[in-house]
Amino acid sequence: MSAQILDGRTVAKEIQAELAAEAAALKEKYGITPTIAVVRAGEDPASVSYANTIKKTFESQGFGFRLHVLPETAPQEEMIKLVKELSADPGVHGIILQEPFPKGWDEARIKESLDPAKDVDGVHPVNAGRLAQVAPVGRPPGVLDYFVPATPLGGLELLKRYGITISGKRAVVVGRSNIVGKPMAMLLLREDATVTICHSRTPDLGAVCREADILCVAVGRAKLITADMVKPGAVVVDFGVNFVDGKMVGDVDFEAVKEVASAITPVPGGTGPMTNAMLLKNVLEAAKRQQNL
């Protein structure tokens, strides 16, 4: 039987409508428009395209959007100065640093120049550290005022909105980047899954993946996950974005795996739209926290 499709596009629309209503109320009551600043150096095509998507999403939902682009040849200090200025600007509630940074830039120093309270993609070490420290759901909460990267947050929200049980399940996350794999693993752990993280040095990836009740993949290689690597009935969350013959595909061989899995995210239309919705959510949350609301 074919898997249930976890329709990120539809769920993201519902979430965006909820957030747009909240943003409108914030504007009416306090005169605040939750605003994001997107910052990058250079014109990496994927970054340009992502910034355009953010602009479209934010402006269509009544949020503010600002774009700051430095030349790729700019010195790193110029970026640090800009990030500090935006961090101090009361009209900006959230900041996104688009990568890749120009060669030779010190990634850690740039991220650390962000105000963690405006770090709506959870890249500052304070936010990443708090995610690692936060108590499991249902236990006395740890620090709550932190931000989680929008992509894994969206993946988790999609599972929750479809009522998929996470607690007690075996979860496998393929990929260990700071922006997708690692935070996804932390979120699943917080939800009481038993979590394994795989990466490029994991031997026999298929054997580990076959143990998963929930399989999350964030690698960036088309068809890395084939049907024989998936346990029958598993839930599969595909974060991958790849282009094959001009067509966007994920990391999972969707057509074959959907015949084995019980639920699966499509690409496009799965985790991608959820990322945009979670970015709105984080910016709204940042704006509220900055007003002590």
- Name the residues that contact ligand NDP, by CB under 6 A: 151, 174-177, 179-181, 198-202, 205, 218-221, 224, 239-242, 271-272, 275
| Closer to ligand NDP by Cβ: residue 148 or 198 | 198
Q: How far apart are the first and last CA of the chain?
A: 48
122, exposed or middle or buried, with CB in 10 Å at 0-12, 13-18, 19+? buried
Considering beta carbons, is residue 117 or 241 the nearer one to ligand NDP? 241
Residue 149: CB minimum distance to ligand NDP, A = 8
Is the peptide bond prior to 100 cis by the omega test (within 30 degrees of 0)?
Answer: yes
What is d(CA 77, CA 192) in angstroms, rounded to the nearest whole number? 42
Q: What are 243's strand-pairing partners?
A: 248
Task: Please report how close the Cβ of residue 275 comes to ligand NDP at its closest, in angstroms.
Answer: 3
- Residue closer to ligand NDP (CB basis): 32 or 183: 183
Q: Shortest approach of ligand NDP to residue 200 CB, angstroms?
A: 3
Asked if residues 224 and 174 have their Cβ atoms less than 8 Å apart, the reply is yes
Min dist. Cβ of residue 281 to ligand NDP (A): 14
Task: Return the biggest CA–CA distance within the chain.
Answer: 56
Question: What is the Cα–Cα distance from 5 to 236, expressed in whole angstroms?
Answer: 10
Q: Which of residues 26 and 195 has its CB atom nearest to ligand NDP in the complex?
A: 195
